[in-house]
Amino acid sequence: MNTSPKFIYVTLITTTPEKLWAALTSAEFTKQYWGGTAVESDWQVGSKVVFRWKGRIVHNDTVLKSEPPRLLSYSFHPLHIEELLSEPPSRVTFEIEEFTGKSARQGPVVKLTVTHEDFQAESKIFPMISKGWPDILSSLKTLLETGRAIEFEW
């Protein structure tokens, strides 16, 4: 039996697939909703994905899939928390689907499914990302719908 945990989170956002793709792949956007983290890459399969946070490189991962504006996947291995270094990289995938509004005058609604998997058994990273993604993705939705991310106070 496969006991490796898997995290899935679905959010719906009043935006377009292109704008959501830009928000996931541009450091200027990610800094606003991702607790100040700049996510940097040229988003070619095999290229590096670097997370910069408070002036440090906290991730140095690899693009696994990149099909703008529908599918993005990269490896995920935090470097800034000592006790997590020994865990193998996990994998996060972003899938973007567009729903057409019932009325032609209304804009589309986009469904973003984030799947985070390939954790080792009893992973210490898994509970952290399970708490973290709803916070980051709620803020992303607020940014795209209102123009301003959520101001978290922690």
Partner 1 sequence: MNLDRFKPKTVYVTYIATTPEKVWQALTTGDLTKQFFFGRRIEIEPQPDGLFRLWQPDGTLDVEGKVVVCDPPRKLAVTWRVMWMEELRKLPECLVSYQLDDLGKVVRLTMIEAHQIELDEKMLEGGRRGWPVILNNLKTLLETGKPMPEFDFMSDAKDALEEMKRVAREQTNLET
Residues that bind partner 1 (CB under 8 A): 10-14, 97, 99-103, 106-109, 111, 134-135, 138-139, 141-142, 145-146, 150-154
Q: Which is nearer to partner 1, 4 or 106 (CB)?
A: 106
Give the Cβ contact number of residue 113 at 10 Å: 13
Least Å from the CB of residue 139 to partner 1: 7
What is the distance of C-alpha 80 from the center of its chain? 18
Q: Which is nearer to partner 1, 60 or 100 (CB)?
A: 100
Least Å from the CB of residue 72 to partner 1: 19
What's the Cα-to-Cα distance from 149 to each of 21, 28, 34, rounded to whole Å?
A: 16, 12, 9
Q: How many Cα neighbours within 13 Å face the side chain of 69? A: 17
Least Å from the CB of residue 146 to partner 1: 6
Least Å from the CB of residue 14 to partner 1: 5
- DSSP result, 10-23: EEEESS-HHHHHHH
Is residue 125 within 8 Å of residue 78, measured between CB atoms?
Answer: yes
Q: At what angle do helices 17-25 and 125-146 cross, to 10 degrees?
A: 130
Q: Which is nearer to partner 1, 72 or 114 (CB)?
A: 114
Q: Which is nearer to partner 1, 58 or 109 (CB)?
A: 109
